[in-house]
Structure 1
Amino acid sequence: MEKFRTNKWSILSAVLIGTVMGPIDGSVTNIAMPQLAKIFNTDITTISWVAMTYLLMLSSLMLTFGRLGDMIGYKKLYQYGLITFSATSAILSMSNNIYMLIIVRAFQAIGAGMLMSMAPAIITATFPATERGKALGFNAMPVSIGLAIGPTLGGFLLTYLGWRSIFYINIPIGIIGFIWAQAVVPDNKGVPEKFDPAGALSAFLFLAGLLLFISKGGTWGWTSSASIISIAIFVTFFIIFIIIENKLEFPMLDLSLFKIRTFTFGNISTLINFMAQFTMTFLTPFLLQQMGFSTDMAGIIMTSFPLIMFVSAPLSGILSDKYGAQILSTIGALISAVALFSMSTLNLHSSMFSIMWRLGLFGIGNGLFQAPNNSSVMGSVSKNRLGIASAFLATMRNAGMVLGIAAGSAIFTNRKIFYETLSISKTNAFMFGLRDAYIVASIFSIISALTSLVRNNINIKNIIERDEK
């Protein structure tokens, strides 16, 4: 067993087990939403809170978990995440009303947050700088697998085993992951620093306020009382957070990290990249529906993106260990921009292949961007700040997801309404609105390429020397 503890690939395999749980659970649960709405006799607005509560809790607590990981040890918090995610999955399967489902999903997000914030930290602490990109590239593979098989698996479980089974599948994965992590992941003591509860609370409130405003503002009305209260909570507690963090000896988020050019611009690039990605993934199913594809066929078409990324992400990680992140991530973002612009040229008569190669090209670009970018961000900080760096990177990803869905929805809806005022058919207005949204997503990717280009290109030798100190 001691041999396994020193084997970095065994440690990576333990992390991959936890990494695959979130994507599978998310994609399976999303496909089950219509059926859950019928089972619990509720409307689409209420059932949407099953996903929204999960996302809000996950994103708002990520920084707290990152800081706790640096303090108590990455392995310990990672295992807490596996236990929490598995236990709440069991409780979710016993839900007898929609409110229980929503509340327990919030607690499940706590487990997911621990897993997501600790996985890159464990990998970065385990692998040398010369193999970090490769390892983080492999870590992207289970995400692609989860996103690819989730819809099909969810459909099978719902059809043959019932809705409760979509939560059962997490339990054996979590148990296996906990046992394997206990066996192979080494303990790390963490840093003997005080926890910052005021900073954690203010961070949770400002992130929750911001994400709630972005995701629900369009539904509530951007100037409604609920939207104004949400944005007021964001502004107030963001200011309080900055004041607190500047005063404390041991802040929850070390603001000096933002003086590191690679860390700052790598995170900005992540945020904008995920805005582009989720604008595309949110809108494309509507395009496929408009083109007449069945739900099953649309699911097959959409897997083109994660399946290609499954291959491109580890390859780009290997290349980044040799050539660095700056050029690779920039090229990846530009390829994504080209793919998104090409999506804007589709029409109702486009073939399935013409859609799939565009999604595949986007998968190449995204895979080329993410692993090198993540490696450069994680490699830019000292080892005692890997937890918070990993958590902040995950927070930028989740914020990008929410912003991308909100931006894509708003652009498509507003442009569609505009084109309808020009007295053209609703079908053409739909396609023109979609075209404009894809073009804006392409612009997001171009901006991501620019922010990626201006980062410092990390010198691998300097990182090795720093880590050995």
Structure 2
Amino acid sequence: MSATVRPWPALWALVVGFFMILVDTTIVSVANPAIMAGLHTDIDAVIWVTSAYLLTYAAPLLVTGRLGDRFGPKPVYLAGLTLFTLASAACGLSGSIGALIAARAVQGLGAALMTPQTMAVITRMFPPDQRGKAMSLWGATAGVATLVGPILGGVLVDGLGWEWIFFVNVPVGIIAFVLAWRLVPTLQTHPHRFDLVGVTLSAVGMFLLVFGIQEGESYDWGLIGGWLPVWGVVGAGVVVLALFVWHQSRMRGEPLLPLGLFRDRNFALANGAISTLGFAVTAMSLPLVFYYQLVLGFSPTRSALMLVPMAVMTLLLSPVTGRLVDSWNPRNIALAGMLMQAIALVWYSLWLTPDADQWARLLLPSALLGVANACLWSPISSTATRNLPRELAGAGSGVFNTTRQIGSVLGSAAIAALIQARLVAAFGAEAAGQTGAAEAAGALPDALKAGFSDAMAQSILLPAALAVVGALIVVWFAPPKRGGQWAGAAQPESTTAVPTAR
């Protein structure tokens, strides 16, 4: 039995769940003090509430993308959504920090099952000359969700308690499930034989790499447990992933990671560009939030509201850039976005001063970042997926989202290390420790505000530098042929849903 496929309603249904899981990558940050008080724990333990989620989210993406090819995007997405929603309820009901961390790990696994399916559906249901509009919705969702998380988290924690940052996912998850069940078609599956050795190597390598990068700062890049060096964990992850790539290159059957994907110039370059974007977007928020709360004395909710111009401009302009991507050269749009992002971050750096009366002017670079954001997600994502064969849509989406997530983890770890280094340079190790205590107390002595502002201003130049690197990568995107068509672009499967292969 077949039914008419309506690509846009299907995509909107998937975006509801995609938005929810991305919000959860940032929503916990403003709730950490409340979680510490509510569960009677310390900061070392509460960090794992976020770390466990990111680890189990990033590590399996290569595998979960391929599951969508094998079993179909719809059933894999629904399974992940169910897991995520149930885990969200378990998070809110947790009576100990250990139970909360375990539930967050399950949440991350659910998110890993869902994320690649959204891009795979775009690749498989939209023709190449319409994917820019579809990717603009995907990109706006990704860009805005990372900004909404802290705002929503602050409102819920202040009004209802930390548990509600998780409970809110339950009704949203139920609505998302019903929408996906009714609106997302059952697309044709492609038989795959899973390479168990490749699955093991990729999962272990990704876990070691992400764990080492993410947790390095909490161990001062020294020893874990008094004997295991952090850099040894990162190095082991790199070695295992290198073994994984070598194993994939020698496989005679069907590899988990089709290395032929990277023969496509735009796919390879777009993966590099999205990793720099993930790095910059993640890294820029930490020094800004610290500056707003500790120097200007803003509450968590008010500091998050300073990012609203960014979110508004992204929402307003993403549909416009989505239409332009289908008719213009996406390279030029993405290049403009990268350069605007770098300019906005340098602008922030120049204006992060201890003068509390000048806070309103910081809304200007926030708005420019929103314009940049709208010019980045859709052009980069549509460039990556234009030439993907439909039977590899899930694998390509898994790779793309993995590189994005690795960039985000690198950005989080690098900016934390740089902030600490700049504070030590400004105050010395002992005074830098005092700023850490002031951070926990939510207050900073006036005598330290100038040095702290300088440290944040210097730190935000790191994501600005990554935006410049991203611009250098984007310059090499291959231009489209006349009429906006790309060579080798795969066409959508059909205007009707097809039965699942048995």
CA contact (8 A) 1:324 1:458 kept: yes
CA contact (8 A) 1:14 1:184 kept: yes
CA contact (8 A) 2:213 2:410 kept: yes
Question: Is 1:450 the counterpart of 2:472 in the alignment?
Answer: yes
Structure 1 residues 329 and 76, CA gap change in structure 2 (3 angstroms): same
The one of 271, 292, 295 equivalent to 1:267 is: 271
Question: Is 1:357 the counterpart of 2:364 in the alignment?
Answer: yes
The one of 314, 320, 327 equivalent to 2:325 is: 320
The one of 354, 367, 382 equivalent to 2:389 is: 382
Find the residue that maps to 1:26 and give its secondary structure: coil
Query: 1:109 and 1:143 mapped to 2: Cα distance?
Result: 16
Question: Is 1:398 the counterpart of 2:398 in the alignment?
Answer: no
Q: Compute the displacement of 1:121 (Å).
A: 0.9
Aligned to 1:342: 347
When the two structures are aligned, how many residues end up with a matched partner? Answer: 468
CA contact (8 A) 1:68 1:195 kept: no
Aligned to 1:461: 485
Find the residue that maps to 1:413 and give its secondary structure: helix
Structure 1 residues 298 and 71, CA gap change in structure 2 (3 angstroms): same
Structure number with the higher helix fraction is: 1
CA contact (8 A) 2:52 2:101 kept: yes
Amino acid corresponding to residue 312 of structure 2 in structure 1: L
Amino acid corresponding to residue 100 of structure 1 in structure 2: A
Q: Compute the displacement of 1:328 (Å).
A: 0.7
Structure 1 residues 444 and 49, CA gap change in structure 2 (3 angstroms): same
The one of 227, 251, 255 equivalent to 2:255 is: 251
Structure 1 residues 150 and 442, CA gap change in structure 2 (3 angstroms): closer
Question: Is 1:70 the counterpart of 2:92 in the alignment?
Answer: no
CA contact (8 A) 1:205 1:233 kept: no
CA deviation map 1:63-114 (0-9, x unaligned)? 1101111111111111111111112122222212111111111111111111
Aligned to 2:82: 83
Amino acid corresponding to residue 233 of structure 2 in structure 1: S
Identity of aligned residues (%): 27
Aligned to 1:116: 115
CA RMSD of aligned residues (A): 2.4
Query: 1:232 and 1:122 mapped to 2: Cα distance?
Result: 35
Aligned to 2:421: 414
CA contact (8 A) 1:93 1:167 kept: yes
Amino acid corresponding to residue 435 of structure 1 in structure 2: A
- Identify which range, 13-22 or 46-55, moves more after superposition: 13-22
Query: 2:492 and 2:282 mapped to 1: Cα distance?
Result: 39
Query: 1:318 and 1:53 mapped to 2: Cα distance?
Result: 38
Unaligned stretches of 5+ residues in structure 2: 432-446, 494-502
CA deviation map 1:243-265 (0-9, x unaligned)? 22112221111111111110111
Find the residue that maps to 1:322 and give its secondary structure: coil
Question: Is 1:102 the counterpart of 2:107 in the alignment?
Answer: no
State the TM-score, normalized to the length of structure 2: 0.87
CA deviation map 1:110-139 (0-9, x unaligned)? 111111111111122111111101111112
Structure 1 residues 98 and 277, CA gap change in structure 2 (3 angstroms): same
Query: 1:462 and 1:155 mapped to 2: Cα distance?
Result: 44
Q: Compute the displacement of 1:233 (Å).
A: 2.6
Aligned to 2:236: 233
Structure 1 residues 143 and 439, CA gap change in structure 2 (3 angstroms): closer
Query: 2:207 and 2:472 mapped to 1: Cα distance?
Result: 29
Amino acid corresponding to residue 243 of structure 1 in structure 2: W
Question: Is 1:204 the counterpart of 2:226 in the alignment?
Answer: no
Amino acid corresponding to residue 318 of structure 2 in structure 1: A
- Identify which range, 135-144 or 336-345, moves more after superposition: 135-144
Query: 2:454 and 2:158 mapped to 1: Cα distance?
Result: 36
Query: 1:178 and 1:296 mapped to 2: Cα distance?
Result: 30
The one of 226, 242, 245 equivalent to 1:242 is: 245
CA contact (8 A) 2:347 2:365 kept: yes
State the TM-score, normalized to the length of structure 1: 0.93
